[in-house]
Amino acid sequence: MLAATLFAVGGWQRRWIADDGLIVLRTVRNLLAGNGPVFNAGERVETNTSTAWTYIVWFFSWLTQIRLEYVVLAIALTLSVGAIVFAMLGAARLWGGPGSVLLLPAGAFVYIAVPPARDYATSGLESSLVIFWLALLWWWMIRWSQAERVRLANFFGLVFTAGLAPLIRPEMTLVGALALLMIFCAPLPRTRLRPIVFRGLIVAVAGLLPVGYQIWRMGYYGLPYPNTAVAKDAGGAKWGQGFVYLWNLLGPYWLLLPLALLLILGVVAWRTVAPSRYAPAVPDAGSATGVRARLHRLSVRLRTPGAVVALVLVSGILLALYQIRVGGDFMHGRVLLPQLFLLLLPVMVIPVRAPRWNPAGETALRRVDWAFVVIVAAWIGTVGWALFACNTTAIKSGTKIDSSGIVDERVYYVLNTGHDHPIRAEDYLDYPRMRAMVNDIANSPNGGLLLNSPSFMFWYIAPPPQPIPEGGAGHTVFFLNLGMTSMNVPLDVRVIDQMGLAYPLAAHTERLVDGRIGHDKNLYPDWVIVDAGMVDKKPWMPWYLDEKWVTQARTAMSCPDTVALLISSREPLTFERFRHNLKHALDFASYRIERVPKYEIQRCGLVDPTQEPPAPR
């Protein structure tokens, strides 16, 4: 297929692995080393948003024994191209059928023309898996809606695929739930089982893996969702920033233009090609009246191509609203790509019939097949737009982040590392401060806490207390760029961040009101001095830290609820710990602390050790 080939070429030309993509690989390294699905050995934190993506990368890494970066690059590009193929196959089934119909790629051209779509065809993130799953579900739902007789193997394969939604990415649960609801309420395949038993099987097949994993997640990590959702407050609301993010994608590419053309094209094609002829042959209630008859007719309509089209369009709109509500993301376009993909699914290809002319004797205007003219004109306009958009640059400042906080992530790292295709972990050693970090770790065998200087030019090392154990006290790195940092150090180096993706203490701080989207939590390093057990006195402690704040942080960390939160991920996993985590996972998820130690002491009702006791009267 032309569109799939173009997407493969475009994705390869812009191949790279993002810093956040390297975060996934740190967890895979720990899995391969036998430390479990963790970011730092001995601390159970789920830093990857997509569970399925983590284990897919782990499986193929274990199977091939090839370098992790190359494994993830191959998987991502394969899934991205496969997504376009399945999306077009689903649309082809929607529009194909009897008669001479030419199918032309339309929505596929729109998607692959948008530069972020090609950027995240690789990147090491789960974007490729998300669109592949959406395309596969779409193709399977269309097949199900058109089948005169549904085979049980295909039916339960569809149910299982839809049930994977929360493991693909948590917000995809919306799409999977709507698809399962449609399947559950539609007429069932003919079997000897009673309907109630068969529907019970649907629930079991759909829920077996996600529900089982959810129970394990709550017991193992002590949270009902990935730690990334806590760090980014995925339930919060930043509508204003969300609309800024939306326009950051729509505006530069004039994306509303092809969407309008495809809407016109789809409506005209729907009226002329009439996919409703594919409605499955199921018993009808005829002209019967009453509640049961109306419910039956509604149930029959659920297993039609029109209902599946409505499903993907409604899902796309609802997911877009969700992303706008939470404020979008800091990566240009990334989290709106699945929504765009969903909205384009029904018109990934469009049908064009040979023009039919009215009988002679009528005016020339009346003889024109206007449906053919509109479809062809809209398609030509869409292709013309795609040629314009594929060479458009949305964000001009590659190395600077403007007030919106949104950046072209690929270009940013290309320019800051000096590599056209930063893929390997060592490519990121050319990012400022990375090589210095590796050298400082090698030159401090006693261990210590590495803190980036306020000027972001070098590292301070807070030393461990005496006596130093044999082999050193170990290193901890406290830095925002978790991926490049963690993939360039051994697994015994603890890597944590002030935003909290890999650090529960930071993740459970309150969100900054005016912080950069996706980075709006920032734990002070004074807490980490205490948590890492380093010397907390000058002159050993970095000059810009405050001994008073460190003393207050030590008291603040003694808050019973904070202690309970931390041991939920640090205490050895026993049955009792698993049971306790499972029971209190929702409480842990909602728990928040103040990032200023003094205020946290007040919140928890503790005694501030730096305050003079009141004089006796």
Q: Return the domain boundaries, the chain.
A: 1-275+293-354+369-390, 442-604
- Both tokens of residue 181? 């609801």
Q: Per mean pLDDT, which range of 96-100, 210-214, 343-347, 404-408 is the poorest? A: 96-100
- Both tokens of residue 610? 């730096």
Identity of residue 46: E
> Can you give the pLDDT at residue 280?
46
Partners of 449 in beta bridges: 462, 476
Instruction: With a cut of 50, say whether residue 616 has pLDDT above it.
Output: yes
Q: Are 462 and 440 in contact (CB under 8 A)?
A: no
Instruction: With a cut of 60, say whether residue 519 has pLDDT above it.
Output: yes
Question: What pLDDT digit, counting tens, does each position of 431-473 carry?
Answer: 989 999 999 999 999 999 999 887 767 899 999 999 999 889 9
Average pLDDT over residues 394-402: 73
The helix (run of H) or strand (run of E) holding residue 212 is helix 195-221
| Residue-averaged pLDDT of the chain | 90
3-state secondary structure (DSSP) of residue 452: strand
Report strand pairing: 475-478 vs 349-353: unpaired
Which of 87-101, 268-282, 326-340 is predicted most confidently? 326-340
Partners of 411 in beta bridges: none
Measured CA to CA, the distance from residue 593 to residue 553 in angstroms comes to 12
High-pLDDT (> 70) share of the chain, %: 93
Comparison of pLDDT for 589 and 372, the residue scoring more:
589
The helix (run of H) or strand (run of E) holding residue 309 is helix 305-326
> Can you give the pLDDT at residue 471?
86
Q: Per mean pLDDT, which range of 80-94, 259-273, 395-409 is the poorest? A: 395-409
Please enumerate in sequence order all residues whose Cβ is within 8 A of that of 348, keeping only pairs 6 or more positions apart, or say none.
84, 87, 88, 90, 91, 105, 106, 107, 108, 111
Phi-psi region of 605 (alpha: psi -120 to 50; beta: other; left: phi over 0): left
Write the DSSP symbol of residue 164.
T
**Which is it for the CA torsion 401, 405, 411, 417, positive or negative?**
positive
Q: How long is the chain?
A: 617
Instruction: With a cut of 90, say whether residue 552 has pLDDT above it.
Output: yes
Instruction: With a cut of 90, say whether residue 51 has pLDDT above it.
Output: yes
> Can you give the pLDDT at residue 282?
46
Selection from 518, 523, 481, 485 nearest residue 505 by Cα: 523
Q: Per mean pLDDT, which range of 35-49, 237-251, 393-407 is the poorest? A: 393-407
Question: What pLDDT digit, counting tens, does each position of 216-252 carry?
Answer: 999 999 999 999 999 988 788 889 999 999 999 999 9
**Which is it for the CA torsion 129, 131, 132, 134, positive or negative?**
positive
The helix (run of H) or strand (run of E) holding residue 572 is none
Write the DSSP symbol of residue 187.
P
What are the DSSP E strand ranges found in 453-565?
A: 459-462, 475-478, 494-496
> Can you give the pLDDT at residue 276?
46
Measured CA to CA, the distance from residue 44 to residue 585 in angstroms comes to 13
The most distant pair of C-alpha atoms in the chain lies apart, rounded to whole Å, by 112
pLDDT band at residue 182 using 50, 70 and 90 as cut-offs: very high
> Can you give the pLDDT at residue 274?
59
